[in-house]
Amino acid sequence: MTATSWGWLVLAFPLAGMLVIALGWKVLPDRVAGWIGSAAIGGAFAAAIAMLIDLQDQPEEARSLVDSAWTYASTGGFSVDMSILVDPLSVMMCLIVSGVSFLIHVYSVAYMESDRSYKRFFAYLNFFVFSMLLLVLAANFVLLIVGWAFVGAASYLLISFWYRRSTATKAGIKAFVINVIGDVGLVIGAFLLFDATGALDYAGVFAQVPEAFAHNDGQLVAACLLLLVGAFAKSAQLPLHTWLPDAMEGPTPVSSLIHAATMVTAGVYLIARMHPLFEQAPAAADISAVIGTLTLFVAASIALVMTDLKRAIAYSTMSQIGYMILGVSVFAYSAGMFHLMTHAFFKALLFMGAGSVIAAMANEQSLDKMGGFRKAMPFTYATFTAGALALAGFPLTAGFFSKDEILAYTINRGDWFIALAIVGYITAFMTAVYAFRLVFRVFHGEPCEQARELEGGHLAHAEPFNPATGEAEDTEAGFPGPEHHIAEREGAMKAAMGPLALLAIFAGLVQIPGVTDVIEKFLEPTFAGSHYAHDHPSDSAEYMGMAVGALISIAGILVAARIYLWRPGTSAKLQARFAPLHKLLANKWYFDEAYDYGIVRPMTALGRFGRTVIESAFVQGFLVGGTVGIVRAGSSFARSIQTGEVRAYAAVLLLGLSAIVLYFLIVAS
Amino acid sequence: MDISWFIVLSAFIFCIGAAGVMTRRSPLVILLCLELMLNAGNLALIAFSRMVGNVEGQIFALIVMVVAACEVVIGLGIIVAMYRRKLPIDVDDMAELRG
């Protein structure tokens, strides 16, 4: 079988899984549906590996295969094919997406067990994986947009999975609206490209770019900026990021899969995929680099003070994606994709650990109430710490190599990019602090009540409630199930977290500067045409960067240890001392408030004006009411003529006839 | 004979019929007056037919007679139905189609 046939199989497995679970929901037992979903994704992962092997057999210059299943539309000199593109970039994305998704499915089999909508969950989850794989395998803009929109829809369905929770449905709507803004940007961007090149498939567009556009051509920059709107909305970059923290209303495996490991990296993939465009329009790439840097800084600063465990990790995700966006925007594609991969491992792992902790806390998510889980949950502690080490960029972990590579490439660009790299290093320090703030506050310190109970072998139970508002809930469909599942007691959850912990620690070894370069070598054929393909920082510069990164990371961990571990109470003192700053950060830089006052309220006011004035006065009163009035007056006149008197009718008839005869007589004479 | 005599006679009969339709209240008389109007028309048709010298007008008159016969049958049928139901035989009282 060729690589492209394996590519079709990669798509077919999750689609089949979704259909089987969705159609068989009445007859399938819960656990079976979960295992079918997991097996489907496992199959996709296996097919992706086969695709990788087949692709590696090809000579380097032939490692970009397009296969078309059928022609979707053919008109006016262009055609849209249902076609997939298999090249190292898409294969790498497929491997990451299906691999991490598989582990998260396995985790969910246990974690979601008592949920009343268990099968619906797996049908949605498989649908998401299918959409994401479609997005990364698409060989033209139309299919890309289809996958892009499917992914947004899947995200909406899964965020509002607990549909009886008003906070969850609102978060789902928010995510969907912002994602649709991104979709619109993507569609218009694709149209601008089609307008200039007359092609919709990647190969056709990229081939035309050098002739169709001058360097920094206005239309190309506009198209790239519109693509960036799509990328930023999906990847939660400023200023379209506000949906991601709210998306944590969804079940924890969803946060882990969609809102950390896979979907939110679609923007990074998009920029990497569109690299011929961005290299021809560096102005757009520079804007993207600046926004990525702003995001990574702002998000990390918010993560420092968030007291909601999942939201803190969500801001960390935003921040890490900022690094990736910075990486691919300074044309360090392999570094950006490398960080995408390592981040998928450790962030999925962190969320899984968080899910385990939240279950042990009986759905409580506030850090203020947690503490001392170290002894009660040794496995969760070990894996969460592994994830946090990788996130903090502790030397020799996965995050260490990938983050420092991005920053080394950024410095290598010189000029003002050095300023971006400095912000990156400052943020790396903040990252280490907030990563270990979570570890120390959750697992160290005085054990909280639930931790002590768990040490005694009793898993905490509480009346079901909404962790965001404290409202009472029941455990029927539409709310979380009654049981809580922690990694310590569930083999499936352990089986998912173990490999990820190992990957979080060791995955960096595939790309050590001067030693190994697996990722870069593998991705080389995709980026062979890049002007920056051979623009590497020297090994010594990379080692310098790594030394600085290692120092920063260790310093950050030590600072976190001093604040939260050795001198408890320091954090309260800091909060009191820098009260305005803390207020700014705790309110997330007032983005939500700004949108509320700047967009939501004026729109609501406009809507109210439309409803009261335009709709009721103009449309209902004037247009509809006026038409009704005219018809009613006319018909009442016509009715008044109908007297029912036969003789009157005859008289009118004769009079009319006489009048006509008279008229003709007069005319004739 | 001059054709105008026929036409004037036809007009007279027509006017008598029309006046009867408009003034009388008994449906039976109205039907008779309608017959008068139709036959005035027939007379005119035949007169013109003689003047022009072909038979088309006469054929038309025959058709009008058939129509008139049908109409009388239906009209009388209605009047008999009204009578049987003991309704007043008066068109002014039959004004239920008032809008």
Nearest to A55 by CA among A3, A94, A8: A3
B95 contacts in chain A (CB < 8 Å): 643-646
Judge contact between A362 and A552, C-beta under 8 A: no
Our CA-based measurement puts residue B54 at a distance from the nearest CA of chain A, in whole angstroms, of 26
**Is the pTM above the cut of 0.95?**
no
Q: What angle do CA A563, A567, A572 make, to 5 degrees?
A: 60
Our CA-based measurement puts residue B69 at a distance from the nearest CA of chain A, in whole angstroms, of 20
A662 pLDDT more than 90: yes
CA A236, CA A313: separation in Å to the nearest integer?
Answer: 13
Average pLDDT (A384-412) is 87
Q: Show the DSSP H helices in A88-201 as ranges.
A: 88-111, 118-137, 141-159, 166-197
Give me the percent of chain A exceeding a pLDDT of 70. Answer: 100
Q: Please give the pLDDT value at position A494.
A: 84
Q: What angle do CA A125, A128, A130 make, to 5 degrees?
A: 115
Q: What is the pLDDT of residues A283-310, one digit of tens each?
A: 888 889 999 999 989 898 888 888 888 8
Q: Please give the pLDDT value at position A78.
A: 75
A211 pLDDT more than 70: yes
Q: What is the pLDDT of residues A134-185, one digit of tens each?
A: 999 988 888 899 999 999 999 999 998 888 888 889 889 989 999 999 999 9
Q: Please give the pLDDT value at position B44.
A: 93
- Residue A201 has phi, psi (to 5 degrees) of -85, 150
Q: What is the pLDDT of residues A336-360, one digit of tens each?
A: 888 998 999 999 999 988 988 888 8
CA A184, CA A195: separation in Å to the nearest integer?
Answer: 16
Using left for φ > 0, alpha for ψ between -120 and 50, and beta otherwise, residue B54 falls in beta
A634 pLDDT more than 90: yes
Q: Please give the pLDDT value at position A440.
A: 87
When CB atoms are compared, the residue of B18, B21, B95 closest to A643 is: B95
When CB atoms are compared, the residue of A644, A650, A651 closest to B98 is: A644
pLDDT band at B42; cut points 50, 70, 90? very high
Structure token digits, residue A648:
């009157």
A to B CB pairs, distance under 8 Å: 35
pLDDT band at A465; cut points 50, 70, 90? confident
A43 pLDDT more than 80: yes
Q: Please give the pLDDT value at position A463.
A: 78
Nearest to B7 by CA among B15, A663, A669, B64: B15
Q: Which residues sit opposite A472 in a β-bridge?
A: A465
Average pLDDT (A279-284) is 87
Look at A647 and B91 and tell me if their CB atoms are within 8 Å: yes
Average pLDDT (A541-552) is 86
Query: What's the Cα-to-Cα distance from A3 to each of A8, A140, A328, A436, rounded to whole Å?
Result: 9, 18, 26, 43
pLDDT band at B60; cut points 50, 70, 90? very high
Helix (H) or strand (E) holding A75: strand A65-75
A665 contacts in chain B (CB < 8 Å): none
How many Cα atoms sit within 13 Å of A354 on the Cβ side? 30
Q: Please give the pLDDT value at position B69.
A: 93
Average pLDDT (A260-284) is 87
Q: What is the DSSP letter of A81?
A: E
Q: Please give the pLDDT value at position B99.
A: 66
Look at A646 and B18 and tell me if their CB atoms are within 8 Å: no
Q: Please give the pLDDT value at position A308.
A: 87
Average pLDDT (A28-32) is 82
pLDDT band at A188; cut points 50, 70, 90? very high
Q: Please give the pLDDT value at position A217.
A: 82
Q: Please give the pLDDT value at position A660.
A: 95
Look at A647 and B18 and tell me if their CB atoms are within 8 Å: no
Q: Please give the pLDDT value at position A665.
A: 93
Q: What is the DSSP letter of A620?
A: I
Looking at per-residue pLDDT, the higher value among A461 and A268 belongs to A268
Average pLDDT (A470-487) is 79
Q: Write down the mean pLDDT value for chain B.
A: 89
Q: Please give the pLDDT value at position B14.
A: 92
Look at B98 and A641 and tell me if their CB atoms are within 8 Å: no
- For chain B, list the domains and their CATH numbers: 3-92 (1.10.287.3510)
Interface mutation target, options B7, B16, B21, B25, chain A, most CBs of A under 10 Å: B21
Q: Give me the sign of the Cα torsion angle A601, A607, A610, A616.
A: negative
B36 pLDDT more than 90: yes
Q: What is the pLDDT of residues A44-61, one digit of tens each?
A: 999 999 988 888 888 877
Rg (CA), chain A: 30
Q: How many CB atoms lie within 10 A of CB A592?
A: 15
CA A630, CA A609: separation in Å to the nearest integer?
Answer: 27
In B, minimum Cα distance to A646 occurs at B91
pLDDT band at A216; cut points 50, 70, 90? confident
